Amino acid sequence: MDKKNETGSRGENVGIGEYKTGITKISSIGLGSCVAFILYDRKLKTGGLVHVMLPDSNGKSERPGKFADTAVPLLVLEMEKRGSSRRSLSAYLVGGASMFQQFKGNLDIGKRNVCALREHLIELRIPIESEDIGGTSGRSVNFFPEDGGKITVRRADGKCYEL
């Protein structure tokens, strides 16, 4: 379900399991244990964002943006279609909170999402430039490819900052 972001100054929001690529603002709101996985190409000033919900697809092929193991290759392919090379890509991760502190270990979906994304990025040799992950507070993120790849984060506790 590709909804490419080509025009419009307001940008577009990416929901769970969705992704967008483009040069204008891309947002994702309500990230709890989900992770906004962002790729940015500094040379082309283009980028993409996918809203990852779970670490492993277990072979499911529908909604590849929903799972870390399918979202990483999906977004890399979409960026390559836009002219990017893997060597020019930088990754950013936002989210992965532990929303329910009583659940630890294997049930900490946020931590598992982040670990899975990191593993897939290491395999593809795409560096993680910066991240804002973990904790117990949800987040929303705005990504501005045309503005040098600026990323702003708003936490559920009201704190706002640039990544």
pLDDT at 13: 96
Distances (CA, A) of 161 to 67, 152, 158: 27, 6, 10
pLDDT at 107: 74
The mean of the pLDDT values for the chain is 91
Cβ contact 37:53 at 8 Å:
no
Name the H helices within the chain.
Answer: 68-81, 109-124
Return the bridge partners of 21, or none. 48
Mean pLDDT, range 23-32, rounded to an integer: 96
What is the predicted pLDDT for the residue at 68?
Answer: 97
76-99 pLDDT per residue, tens: 999 999 999 999 999 999 999 987
Fill in the DSSP letter of residue 7: S
> Torsion angle of alpha carbons 73, 149, 28, 69, nearest 10°?
20
What token pair was written down for 64?
């590849």
Is the pLDDT at 23 greater than 80? The verdict is: yes
Give catalytic residues, as residue numbers: 34
For 102-149, write each residue's pLDDT tens digit: 555 567 899 999 999 999 999 999 999 999 999 999 999 999 999 999
pTM of the model as a whole = 0.90
pLDDT of residue 108: 87
pLDDT for the residue 21: 97
Confidence class for position 9, pLDDT limits 50, 70, 90: very low
Instruction: Show the domains of the chain with their CATH numbers.
Output: 12-162 (3.30.1330.200)
pLDDT computed for residue 3 by the predictor: 40
Torsion of CA 67, 72, 73, 75, to 10 degrees: 110
> In the prediction, which pLDDT does 11 show?
78
Cβ(99)–Cβ(89) below 8 Å:
no
Helix then strand then coil, % of the chain, to nearest 5:
25, 35, 40
